[in-house]
Copies of this chain bind each other. A is one copy, B any other.
């Protein structure tokens, strides 16, 4: 099975290069993953739990530089036609919501929104509702928006909810995609403006 993530870090800063490059360099400690960077995104290939850890580490490093920084990430597993890569095999199939995990907080307050796409699966809407309800139960759900769900919390808490959603969906269908936008340091009020 092939699994991984295409992600990008967007610092709203003139010094964006000096924020992005050291953040992406954090990935070098994940020696079990395949990493590939171009001008649009960085690809991380490996088992989902390692991929989530790597993306979180890179984004946290960028956030710790300060300012307004956004992560845009596409997590995918089981896309038909992708190579069956042995480095993607997890040690054990995770039971998404079975046991509470010990978490180290990152100290990065995060506003986020994500969308889950279970592909090739006709009963996908109840599955999406389940992961949104699980985020609510975990205390990270902030709001249901059109086309996505909004999360709030420490970056580690937000990423855990997204990762659990990913594992939960993967227990039902072979091909799962999640798109995540995570933001810190925005000067905007959360309050929605209508026009």
Residue positions of A touching B, CB distance < 8 A: 2, 4, 6, 8, 10-14, 16-17, 27-28, 35-41, 43, 45, 68, 70, 72, 74, 76, 79-82, 111-113, 115, 117, 119-122, 124-125, 145-148, 150, 177, 179, 181, 183, 186-195
Contacts and interface: CB of A to CB of B under 8 A. Distances in A.
B39 A4 contact: no
B183 A28 contact: no
Given A4-B147, A36-B192, 8 more contacts: A6-B148, A37-B192, A38-B192, A38-B193, A40-B181, A41-B113, A41-B181, A76-B147
Contact of A122 (B12, B13, B43, B120): B120
Given A11-B12, A70-B10, A150-B40, A115 B192 contact: no
A17 B187 contact: yes
Contact of A45 (B111, B121, B146, B189): B146
B37 A117 contact: no
Contacts of A72: 72, 181
Nearest to A122: B120
Contacts of A40: 111-113, 150, 181, 183, 186
